[in-house]
Amino acid sequence: MTTIETHSPAETEALGAALAERLQAGDVVGFTGGLGMGKTTFTRGLARGLGYGGDVTSPTFALIHEYRGGRLPLCHMDAYRLSGAEDLFETGFFDYLDNGWTVAMEWSERVGIEPAVRVSIERIDDDTRRIRLEGRGY
């Protein structure tokens, strides 16, 4: 496990970009942390690190956003409103994995997914986040 403090959204995004270098097709990055902690900011970094150059936004209302055009395609998913494996199946989650996508899943603990890398984000103050990385060499 590795714990890092970031002091700006740009630093949180840079940490996500660094993690992207380690990701492989079919990996799940599972996020824990409350609302407004920086999960989407971190995912923006993942997308940039994978080579995607467009906008990256929260999937809270859409449930899933897809980002293509980089080294690996990235699915950004919000599992907050899902209640288990059946709901997860209906989202197409397993199809993403079978087709070589990387999945960044907010609230992954709600559906019992064991991610390749777990990213836990804690707010210290307005700008500072304590980010714990577990899995794949962390």
Q: Could you give the CA distance from residue 1 to residue 125 in angstroms, rounded to a whole number?
A: 22
Query: Residue 86 maps to which CATH number?
Result: 3.40.50.300
**What is the tens place of the pLDDT at every residue in 99-135?**
999 999 998 888 888 899 999 999 999 899 999 999 9
* 115: containing domain: 2-134
Scanning the structure block, which residue is given the tokens 């990235």?
74
Q: Could you give the CA distance from residue 17 to residue 44 in angstroms, rounded to a whole number?
A: 8
Whole-model pTM: value is 0.89
**What is the tens place of the pLDDT at every residue in 13-65?**
999 999 999 999 999 999 988 887 889 999 999 999 999 988 898 887 778 99
Q: How many domains are there within the chain? A: 1
